[in-house]
Each structure stands twice: as C-alpha cells, then as structure tokens.
C-alpha cells in the first residue's frame, strides 16, 4: 500500500529533510532541483516571490474576476498554489489547466508546499491524494474541484497536446529555461500558445531573452518588458490584442 504523500512531513520545521532535492529560498518558500534538466523548478532567489510577481500579478490574474489559467508546466505547483491562494482570498472562481510530462513525486510537492501559500486550501491535499504514484491514481490526468475552483493537470507532452483555442485569460509559460528546454520556446510552439489566449489574455514568463520576445511578437502579441523578480533584471508579459 502506498503511504499518504505528506505522512513523512514535519509541519513547522524550517529545514527540508536530509537527502531531499528540496531547498529553502530567501523569502522562506521552497523549491527543488530537477535532475533531468539540471535546473531548479523555481527561482533560487525566492520561489513564491517569483510565482506571485511574474505569473499571478504579471498576468493580472490577481485582479481578474474569474481567471482561466493555462500553465506549461505544472512542476511543483508553486505557481498554482500562489494563484489558488489569491483566488480564495478574493472569492474569485478559478479554472486552471496545466500540462506536465514528468510529474515529480507527491512527497516532493508536499515538502515544497509545507507552510506555503495555498497549501491549507482543501484542494491541495486532495490533489496530492490523486497524484501519480498514489494508490489508484490515474496517470493521464487529474482533476480536482472545490467550490468554484477547478484544477486539471494533463500528464502529457504539451508539444503534442490540443490546446483549448481562445480560452486562457492568463498563460504561465514556465517550462525550464530556453537553453535547457528550447522546444517550448520555439516560434511555432509560441504561436500555438498565443492561439490558446482569449482576446485580452496575457502570457507571462520569467525569461526576457531576445529570441523569446521575438517569438511572442511574431505570434501577434503585444510584448512588454517589466522588472523581474529578485535575481532577474526583467521579465516579459505579452498580451493578445482584444
Ligand atoms: C520550471 S518547472 C515549472 C515550475 C512550476 N510552474 C511550479 O510552479 O512549480 C518546468 C516544468 O515543465 C515541465 N515540462 C517541460 N517541458 C514540458 C513539455 N514539453 N510538456 C509538459 N511538461 C513539460 C517539466 O517537467 C517541469 O516540471
């Protein structure tokens, strides 16, 4: 029988457990190292700060009455929890669709979330209970709903996925760096992402690389540079004209 994903957690303890890929970041939030890409999932300068600044606020999701968020890729769920916490605080409905082709173990998601934004929302433990690797969990997708919040995570390569046309009020492009994972930053794929945005929808990313900016412009989006989260001078937001 598989253990509950958070059964080994030590609530309130500041340090990640020994031997875990999880590490603390300066704002008190946690992230983890990903072996496959040789990169951290979130900013080493403040994972929760990056999630809020670049993705939630950068896309205007914190002010949208009923955001529909598309995320590439779900990773450890840090961006999701930041969005969930914000929507719950405001009483806003939230639809969140994320793609993830290499789900991290539920124990890592649990450990990273300890004491963090959104981790106390009832939807979070429910997600971990249904996460791949747990007894009886599906491996193709998970969907959890609580009140007017719905999260769907599709466990597949987003490059081959049929994205919902004109749907997203916000798109979080967060698929590791253009150097380590160039496939999700190509002009062709970015054009597909632009097609998933609703008119007025906003794509946000922590990268400010020139070729990313040019790919966003080529996709017909209005691109703006904005101040980056700690450790980055700039990041990008790109709006689909209304
Ligand atoms: C930088 S991490 C995302 C961090 C995440 N947004 C969070 O808040 O924790 C990038 C994630 O994208 C996933 N990914 C990369 N390329 C992908 C692809 N082509 N299809 C689906 N997921 C992908 C990786 O497995 C990884 O979990």
Predicted local distance difference test score (pLDDT) of residue 173: 98
Note the pLDDT of residue 11.
45
Query: 74 C-alpha to center of ligand 1: Å?
Result: 5
Which residue, chain included where needed, has tokens 């009886």? 136
pLDDT, one tens digit for every residue, the chain (242 residues): 345 577 544 444 467 776 789 999 999 999 999 999 999 999 999 999 999 999 999 999 999 999 999 999 999 999 999 999 999 999 999 999 999 999 999 999 999 999 999 999 999 999 999 999 999 999 999 999 999 999 999 999 999 999 999 999 999 999 999 999 999 999 999 999 999 999 999 999 999 999 999 999 999 999 999 999 999 999 999 999 99
Report pLDDT for 12: 46
Atom from ligand 1 closest to the CA of residue 159 = 19
Alpha carbon distance 122, 39 (integer Å): 30
pLDDT attached to residue 126: 97
How far apart are the CA of 221 and the centre of ligand 1, in A? 23
Distance (Å, whole) CA 148 – CA 67: 11
Quick one: tokens of 116? Answer: 């963090």
Output the pLDDT for position 4.
59
Residue 6 confidence (pLDDT)? 72
Q: If we measure between CA atoms, which residue out of 201, 196, 188, 122 comes closest to residue 159?
A: 188
In the numeric block, which tokens belong to residue 77? 């769920």
Residue of 100, 173, 229, 235 with the most ligand 1 atoms within 8 Å of its CB, for mutation: 100
- What torsion do the CA atoms of 73, 79, 83, 88 make, to the nearest 10 degrees? 110
218-230 as b/e: b if 16+ CB within 10 A: ebebebeeeebbe
pLDDT confidence of residue 16? 75
Q: Where are the alpha helices (DSSP H) in the chain?
A: 47-50, 78-90, 106-113, 123-130, 187-196, 210-218
The residue nearest atom 3 of ligand 1, judged by CA position, is 75
> Tell me, what's the pLDDT at 2?
46
Report CA(97)–ligand 1 centroid distance (Å): 13
DSSP state letter for 104: P
| CA 185 to ligand 1 center in whole angstroms | 12
Give the atom of ligand 1 at the shortest distance from the alpha carbon of 51: 8
Q: Which CATH superfamily, name and number, covers 22-239?
A: Vaccinia Virus protein VP39 (3.40.50.150)
Residues with CB under 6 A from ligand 1: 41-42, 51, 73-79, 99-102, 157-159, 174-176, 181, 183-184
Closest ligand 1 atom, residue 102 Cα = 25
Contacts of 101 (CB under 8 A, 6+ apart): 73, 155, 156, 157, 158
Q: Residue ranges of the domains in the chain? A: 22-239
């Amino acid at each position: 029988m598989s253990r509950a994903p958070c059964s080994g957690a030590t609530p309130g303890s500041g340090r990640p457990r020994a031997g875990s890929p999880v590490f603390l970041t300066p704002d008190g939030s946690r992230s983890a190292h990903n072996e496959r890409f040789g990169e951290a999932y979130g900013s080493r300068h403040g994972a929760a700060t990056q999630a809020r600044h670049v993705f939630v606020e950068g896309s205007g999701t914190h002010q949208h009455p009923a955001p529909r968020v598309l995320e590439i890729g779900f990773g450890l769920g840090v961006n999701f929890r930041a969005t969930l916490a914000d929507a719950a605080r405001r009483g806003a409905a939230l639809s969140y669709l994320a793609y993830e082709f290499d789900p991290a173990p539920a124990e890592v998601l649990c450990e990273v979330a300890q004491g963090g934004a959104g981790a106390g929302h009832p939807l979070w433990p429910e997600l971990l209970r249904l996460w791949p690797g747990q007894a009886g969990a599906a491996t193709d997708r998970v969907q959890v709903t609580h009140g007017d919040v719905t999260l769907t995570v599709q466990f597949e390569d987003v490059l081959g996925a049929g994205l919902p046309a004109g749907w997203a009020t916000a798109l979080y492009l967060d698929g590791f760096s253009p150097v380590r994972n160039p496939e999700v930053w190509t002009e062709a794929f970015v054009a597909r992402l632009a097609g998933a945005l609703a008119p007025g929808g906003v794509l946000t990313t922590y990268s400010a690389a020139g070729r990313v900016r040019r790919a966003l412009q080529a996709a017909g989006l209005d691109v703006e540079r904005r101040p980056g989260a700690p450790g980055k001078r700039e990041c990008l937001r790109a709006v689909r004209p209304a």
